[in-house]
Amino acid sequence: MTLLICILALSACGSKPERSIDSDVNSGSSSQPNLNQDKSFSNGFVGFVVKKENNQVLVTNPKVQDFSANGGEKYYYSAFWYTNVPSNIEIGQKVEVWVADGVKTTQYPGRDTAVDIAVIQIPQTDGANLTEEDAIRKALASKEVAAANYSYPVIKEVKYDVSKSRWTIFITQISEEKVLEIIVEDK
């Protein structure tokens, strides 16, 4: 009996945890594929929804990658346009998107069909009236971002200053070292 318990415990250590949609993540779709059993799904892509056009969303990831050693971009941020997105997905939301494995485009930003999408709920900041996603939405709609003419904006960082009652959203784009600092009043 003890041997059986040890074997079960050891086999559980090597198993892949199942993806779950709990209180921190709300799914954008009602049916959840089993991403562990069906190997035709890739790992999820996490980022912020920065544009929404024609039933598609543009999701950019804030993690910078440096490909300059190979002649590529020094400031590269992954970005994908996704189709098959539920209508309740909005600009400013942090999401995780799953797609079917297969041949991918090499264009930038990438294009793919979402198999599943989950909104990552960010807790309301203490003392703030706006949510983080509201602040991001306002920053992306600001005249400063419009003047910068960013085709593929990247949300680098979001901060809230409770003493000044305002948000600071740091936005950049591929190939840019420069980061815009957008102030959003908490109204």
Per-residue model confidence as pLDDT tens digits over 105-143: 778 999 999 999 999 999 999 999 999 999 999 999 999
Indicate whether 97 pLDDT > 80: yes
For the chain, give every domain's residue range. Answer: 21-120, 132-185
pLDDT digits (tens, 9 = 90+) for 26-62: 344 433 344 343 434 457 899 999 999 988 999 999 9
* Fold category of 21-120 in CATH: OB fold (Dihydrolipoamide Acetyltransferase, E2P) (2.40.50)
pLDDT above 70 for 72: yes
Residue 109 structure tokens: 């930003």
Pairing of strands 56-60, 45-53: antiparallel
- Residue closest to 45 by CA, chosen among 87, 6, 100: 100
Contact 109, 152 (CB under 8 A): yes
Predicted local confidence at residue 42, as pLDDT:
56
How large is the C-alpha radius of gyration of the chain? Answer: 19
Closest to 132 (Cα-Cα) out of 114, 111, 115, 157: 157
Percentage of the chain with pLDDT > 90? 67
Task: Indicate if the pLDDT at residue 94 is higher than 50.
Answer: yes
Determine the pLDDT at residue 2: 43
Residue 84 has a pLDDT of 94
HSE at residue 55, side-chain half, CA atoms within 13 A, is 5
Task: Give the pLDDT of residue 101.
Answer: 78
Prediction pTM value: 0.77
Per-residue model confidence (pLDDT) at position 50? 98
The per-residue pLDDT for 175 is: 83
